[in-house]
Amino acid sequence: PSRDSISYFGAGPAPLPTPVLEEASKVLLNYNDSGIGITEISHRSPEANAILAHTQTSLRKLLDIPESDGPEGYQILFLQGGGSGEFSAVVYHMVSVWLGALAAKKQEQQGLEEKVERLRLDYLVTGSWSLKASQEAARLVGPSHINIVTDARKHRDGKFGLVPPQDTWTRTKSEDDVALTYYCDNETVDGVEFPSAPSGPNLVADMSSNFLSRPVDIRRHAAIFGGAQKNVGTTGITIAIVSNRILPPHAAMADPALLRKFGLSVGPIVLDWPTIAKNNSLYNTLPIFDVWIAGQVMQRLLDQSPAGKSPRIAEQEAESDRKAGMLYSVLDGHSGVYGVVPDKSARSRMNICFRVKGGDAEVEKAFLKGAEGEGLMGLKGHRSVGGIRISNYNAVKLSAVEKLAKYMVGFAEERKA
Ligand code: PLP
3-state secondary structure 186-253: EECCCCEECCCCCCCCCEEEECCCCCCCCCCCHHHCCEEEEECCCCCCCCCCEEEEEEHHHCCCCCCC
* Mean pLDDT score across all residues of the chain: 96
How far away, in angstroms, is 359 Cα from ligand 1 center? Answer: 25
Does the structure show a pLDDT above 90 at 304?
no
How far away, in angstroms, is 210 Cα from ligand 1 center? Answer: 11
Q: How far apart are CA 332 and CA 336, in angstroms?
A: 9
How far away, in angstroms, is 84 Cα from ligand 1 center? Answer: 6
Report the chain's C-alpha Rg in angstroms: 22
Does the structure show a pLDDT above 80 at 306?
no
How far away, in angstroms, is 83 Cα from ligand 1 center? Answer: 5
Mutation test residue for ligand 1: of 131, 188, 237, the one with most atoms within 8 Å of CB: 188
ipTM beyond 0.90?
yes
The DSSP bridge partners found for residue 376 are: 7
Mutation test residue for ligand 1: of 78, 79, 80, 84, the one with most atoms within 8 Å of CB: 84
The whole-number average pLDDT for the span 375-391 is 97
Mutation test residue for ligand 1: of 87, 187, 208, the one with most atoms within 8 Å of CB: 208
pLDDT at 105: 86
Closest CA to 182 of 227, 237, 222: 222
CB atoms within 10 A of CB 265: 17
Q: From residue 162, how far is each of 72, 188, 232 by CA, in Å?
A: 33, 13, 26
Please report the DSSP string for 128-187 in residue order.
HHHHHHHHHHHHHH-GGGEEEEEEGGGGTTT-------GGG----S-GGGEEEEEEESEE
Give pLDDT tens digits for 205-219. 999 999 999 999 999
Q: Which atom of ligand 1 is nearest to the CA of 238?
A: 15
SS3 34: coil
Q: How far apart are CA 177 and CA 146, in angstroms?
A: 11
Q: Where do the structural domains in the chain lie, given as residue ranges?
A: 46-296, 313-415
Q: Which atom of ligand 1 is nearest to the CA of 127?
A: 3
Q: How far apart are CA 133 and CA 85, in angstroms?
A: 10
Mutation test residue for ligand 1: of 78, 134, 209, 383, the one with most atoms within 8 Å of CB: 209
Give pLDDT tens digits for 76-100. 999 999 999 999 999 999 999 999 9
Q: What is the share, in percent, of the chain residues with pLDDT greater than 70?
A: 98
Q: How far apart are CA 120 and CA 99, in angstroms?
A: 11
Among left, alpha and beta (phi > 0; psi -120 to 50; other), residue 208 is alpha
Q: Which letter does DSSP use for residue 64 in this model? A: T
Q: Is 25 exposed, middle or buried (0-12, 13-18, 19+ CB in 10 A)?
A: exposed
Q: Which letter does DSSP use for residue 347 in this model? A: B
Query: What CATH number was assigned to the domain covering residues 46-296?
Result: 3.40.640.10
Confidence of residue 305 (pLDDT cuts 50, 70, 90): confident
Q: Which atom of ligand 1 is nearest to the CA of 85?
A: 16
Q: How far apart are CA 361 and CA 357, in angstroms?
A: 9
Query: If you take atom 10 of ligand 1, which residue's CA is the nearest one?
Result: 83
Lowest-confidence segment of 13-17, 107-111, 141-145, 244-248 by average pLDDT: 107-111
Give residues with Cβ within 8 angstroms of 327, minimum separation 6: 352, 390, 392, 401, 404, 405, 408
Query: If you take atom 2 of ligand 1, which residue's CA is the nearest one?
Result: 208
CB atoms within 10 A of CB 335: 10
Task: Report whether the peptide linkage leading into residue 311 is cis, meaning its omega lies within 30 degrees of zero.
Answer: yes
Give pLDDT tens digits for 256-284. 999 999 999 899 999 999 999 999 999 99
Mutation test residue for ligand 1: of 125, 129, 135, the one with most atoms within 8 Å of CB: 129
Q: Which residues are near ligand 1 (CB < 6 Å)?
A: 12, 82-84, 129, 184, 188, 206, 208-209, 227
pLDDT at 108: 66
Q: Which atom of ligand 1 is nearest to the CA of 185?
A: 3
Q: Which atom of ligand 1 is nearest to the CA of 11?
A: 8
Q: Which atom of ligand 1 is nearest to the CA of 187?
A: 3
Spatial contact of 114 and 237, defined as CB atoms under 8 Å apart? no
pTM attached to this predicted model:
0.97
SS3 108: helix
Spatial contact of 229 and 12, defined as CB atoms under 8 Å apart? yes
Query: If you take atom 11 of ligand 1, which residue's CA is the nearest one?
Result: 83
Q: Which fold has domain 313-415?
A: Aspartate Aminotransferase, domain 1 (3.90.1150)
pLDDT at 417: 67
Q: How far apart are CA 313 and CA 305, in angstroms?
A: 7
Q: With the CA atoms of 151, 153, 155 and 156 taken in that order, what torsion angle do they form, in degrees rounded to the nearest 10?
A: 170
Closest CA to 243 of 94, 49, 133, 86: 94
Give residues with Cβ within 8 angstroms of 11, minimum separation 6: 188, 209, 230, 351, 378, 382, 389, 391
How far away, in angstroms, is 267 Cα from ligand 1 center? Answer: 20
